[in-house]
Chains A and B, each alone.
Chain A
Amino acid sequence: MGLVLLALLPGAGVMVWLFGVGVLLNIAAALGAGVAAEALTLRLRGRPVGPALADGSTPLAALIIGIALPPLLPFWIPALAGALAVLLGKQVYGGLGQNIFNPAMVGYLAVVLAFPQAVSLWPAPEPALGAAIPAAEALQYFLTGGLAPIADAMTHATPLDRLATEGFAALPGDGGLLGQTQAAGAWLWLGGAFLLGGAFLLTLRIIDWRLPLGVLAGTAATAALLQLGDGAPVLFHLLSGATLLVAFFIATDPVSAPREPTARLIYAALIGVVALVIRELGGHPDGFAFAVLMLNATAPLLDYVVRRSAGEAA
């Protein structure tokens, strides 16, 4: 768990560089609420608090939530996400190792559904933005929720948001690979940082190569298929939004993934497929969180089917 946290640090660092201290504030709020919720539930369940807090799973969930949420939010949104991740995502099932769903995704989706307006507004990713939104102002917004005018001016819908509502043609630039847009470089930096962390985990064999490969393959294949219609290019889908984060850090959560190697491949590929269908054909800007939770629910079934067919073959 510690190594996964370490591997996620480059990505988090790029996020801070792109979007300013807001990301750090989100992580801190999610972490604080998550740890408090965890300590409280463990006390109520009569379990030792120390070892469960030390296993690193709550900080990891808080970090993922902090990265997944937009950087300018009042503190209660990330805090709620962190607390719900621990409560509804993990402790109700009996703690780490027993949970069916990925805790971070449970917390994230809860606030996405509860505050759809607030969490869909992202500032344009610009390295200079950290300076553009003064830390003090970000902090004030974080604490009070009062929308500072400057922040309001800076935020707008993400490319994925516009893709969902207006179609790919509406995107700025001439539709290549985000090519000429100003933001492209920034997104590439972020993707590169996630890729670096993922490669680190793969070489240490912390994560199973089947899971990221499956997600990327599923995403690419579906994107290619949808491009026959009027879908966005494959590379756009691979590099935008949560694709790389999910592929290397969320789908790879061993607790909520299937156990059988074959089932893992199917599971990961289907995450990519479902996410893309939601992105291109559905109303939500990014479908990965939904896709992960849906496939989490089918993980035991996939295991069962794979084991049974293996048993029949044998």
Chain B
Amino acid sequence: MFSAVLTLTAIAGLCGVGLGAAGRRLAAQRDPVVGHIDELLPQTQCGQCGYPGCRPYAEAVAAGEAATNLCTPGGNATARAIADLLQVDPEPVADDNTGPAVAFIDESQCIGCTRCLPACPVDAIVGAQRQVHTVLADECTGCRLCVEACPMDCITMESVEPPLNARIRPLPTPQSTAARPEQRPGPLRHQQVQPRRRGVAVAGAKDRSRSGPIGSLALPAQLVLPLLDHTGAEVAATVAVGEHVRRGTRVSEGRSGVPLHAPTSGVVSAIERRPIVHPAGGTAACLILEADGADCRETAMPPIEAPLQAEPDTLLRRIADAGVRGMGGAAFPSALKLADAARSGVDTLVVNGVECDTYLTCDESLLRLRAEAIIDGARIAARACGAERILMAVKDTAPEAAAAAEAAIEAAEANIQVVRVGGDYPAGNERHIVYPTTGRTVPAGARPPAVGVVCQNVSTLDAIHRAVHQGEPSVERLVTVTGGGIAEPGNYWVRVGTPLTELIGEAGTPGCRTIVGGGIMGTPITDRRVPLTHGMNGVVVESADEAPLFEQPCISCGRCAEVCPEGLQPFEMARRIRAGVGVGEAAEHIDIDPMRCTGCSSCELVCPSSIPLAAITGHARDAVRSRMREREQAERARQRHEARQAREARRQREKEEARRRKREAMAAKAEQNRSSETTEG
């Protein structure tokens, strides 16, 4: 009895000591949420929120006492970031409907007084006395200091949309996806999905459009060409409003020497902002073309004779001039990709005919239709990038396409090997097709040229064939139009720039989504007037039984980690991102690094709780990119500011120097005068 009491007392004492030590050592610091909110605030300490500084406001928000939308300098972006962090619905800031802004000078009122020039801390205003001034929009930091300096009140702040590569797609929450199901990101609900290690077996979804018609769409009355390059930056148009263009006329020189062409003949009626397809939505500057229906062609570029003996540079130049862009989805200029491959010394060209995203059959149909052209395009591309070996990857579930390719290879007597790869998703991803075809493994975070391989999509190779043999610029593509909401699914030849309303009209049920791209990786759109671009391989209109289910809590089943082709831990990433841990920063571990996610959505396909994992990770990825861009901009602003300070200091020094010299000269002169006076005297 006594010993038992003693033992228990000893155990209790030990436990007490342990608890005490743990309490000391592992004591929770201040509420970490406060710190996260404080980091989101602009640190102007302006007090406009009603609290004596940013930190006190952060504490009030964390305690639930203050609304998330009181920070005026931070504007809607900050309010949204705080709402994201706390997982509440964002509310707009009262007097901010602008977001980022740059100064704009009304040239009809500017008198050329130069007073705004010294007010700008980053030298972003150029002008001279009595000359109209202007703002370098790329360098303007939106600080508003010039607005005060202008005596004519002709400077206003104009809101600008961030460029596409700096837009952050919203973080989906159970509330937001339930409130707006038609904008919910993520794959359609597939009926036959089997998780595999590092992939997913999906069946059935392609059958809808596979046996459908292959037609061409009538020319629309109006076409919309986004003036964007592959990085998402805007490019200038080289034609003016009112100008008449023909099919194939260059309407923009683009960047890196890859121009944009008019898809048909007609008159440029406007250059204005129109909605485009992007996970974060928004608009971009677009060239509006009123078609005249005649579709007359610009003088074609001369065909290149015997292209397989031509200089690689000649071929690359032609591929660039024809504006050929990757048609597998990324729309990356093919000439740049092939030139980069040539520089890395690739030895193998892989023709990507796998088309692993569900619902899509345009590549497969093109292989059946134009296998000869594709084979020829592949040989041209191999010549252009210096690859000696050509392998053609075809899905083993598309035997007809493989047979067509083999027949064409035989007819052309080309040394091309057809490799049938397994049908698991995402086999067609550029990074994942290299191993089954060549046996080489692309390292994490690298692209195929790192192991001597370059991939080209079959549609792209068809466009290359046309550019080289017919001198035709790339202005149309085969598009899959499918989904439960489409009465007659099939593949259609469509001009680039065609608004999607021409393609799908009003088809589909309200509340269900319209998706651009495939059934897994596609992007939902809410405005059907968005134009078709080179990278759009499909338009899917879903029916109610293809719509994703409502989100349930994560039960940590780990299936997402099992299927992730990149070996990531999607549920762990989603948990952290939704808790606001490390969003926009470098990842702590390699298996929770959102930058390594390719966005393939395999995790989401197999998630039993229908959690929008890919969009959550995508949000974090966008945040990292945006943060990097902000840092670059801040660095540039700092450099410009320092350069300006250095210049002013130099000017000051020179002025003083001049003054000193003048004083010395005058003193010398006075001395001279005095001495001459004395000699005279």
Contacts and interface: CB of A to CB of B under 8 A. Distances in A.
A66 B124 CA distance: 75
B569 interface: yes
Interface string B37-79: 0000000000000000000000000000000000000000000
A127 interface: no
A259 B556 contact: yes
B556 A96 contact: no
B553 A259 contact: no
Contacts of A255: 555-556
A294 to B, nearest CB: 17
Contacts of A208: 558
B144 to A, nearest CB: 42
B555 A97 contact: yes
A45 B405 CA distance: 61
Interface string A245-269: 0000000001100010000000000
B442 interface: no
Given A205-B195, A259-B561, A254 B555 contact: yes
A204 B90 CA distance: 41
B558 A55 contact: no
Contact of B558 (A51, A52, A98, A254): A254
Given A205-B195, A311-B589, A259 B569 contact: yes
A61 B556 CA distance: 17
Interface in A42-92: 51-52, 55
Pick from B553, B554, B572 the residue with the most CB of A within 10 Å.
B553
B195 A55 contact: no
A179 to B, nearest CB: 40
Contact of A51 (B194, B552, B561): B552
Interface residues of A, number: 14
B651 to A, nearest CB: 56
Nearest to B611: A97
A190 B70 CA distance: 63
B553 A55 contact: yes
B152 interface: no
A233 interface: no
A55 B552 contact: yes
A96 B194 CA distance: 24
A95 interface: yes
Contacts of A98: 553
Contacts of A311: 589
B485 to A, nearest CB: 27
Interface in B547-596: 550, 552-558, 561, 569, 571-572, 589, 591
B556 A97 contact: yes
Contacts of A307: 589, 591
A97 B558 CA distance: 12
A85 to B, nearest CB: 16
Nearest to B550: A51
A306 to B, nearest CB: 12
A307 B561 CA distance: 13
Contact of A254 (B552, B557, B591): B557
B75 to A, nearest CB: 30
A45 to B, nearest CB: 13
Nearest to A264: B558
Pick from A55, A208, A259 the residue with the most CB of B within 10 Å.
A259
A70 B97 CA distance: 66
Contact of A97 (B550, B553, B561, B572): B553
Interface string A187-227: 00000000000000000010010000000000000000000
A51 B177 CA distance: 15
B557 A96 contact: no
B424 to A, nearest CB: 15
Nearest to B196: A205
Contacts of B589: 307, 311
Contacts of A254: 555-558
B209 to A, nearest CB: 29
Contact of B554 (A51, A52, A97, A205): A97
A52 B174 CA distance: 13
Nearest to B572: A259
A208 B562 CA distance: 11
A255 B571 CA distance: 12
Pick from A95, A97, A205, A311 the residue with the most CB of B within 10 Å.
A97
A95 B555 CA distance: 10
Nearest to A54: B552
A259 B558 contact: yes
B561 A96 contact: no
Given A51-B550, A55-B552, 12 more contacts: A51-B552, A96-B555, A97-B553, A97-B554, A98-B553, A205-B195, A254-B555, A254-B558, A255-B555, A255-B556, A259-B561, A259-B569
5 contacts: A96-B555, A98-B553, A254-B555, A254-B558, A259-B571
Interface of A: 51-52, 55, 95-98, 205, 208, 254-255, 259, 307, 311
Sorted from nearest, which 6 A-B pairs have the closest CB atoms?
A: A97-B553, A254-B557, A97-B554, A96-B553, A259-B558, A97-B555
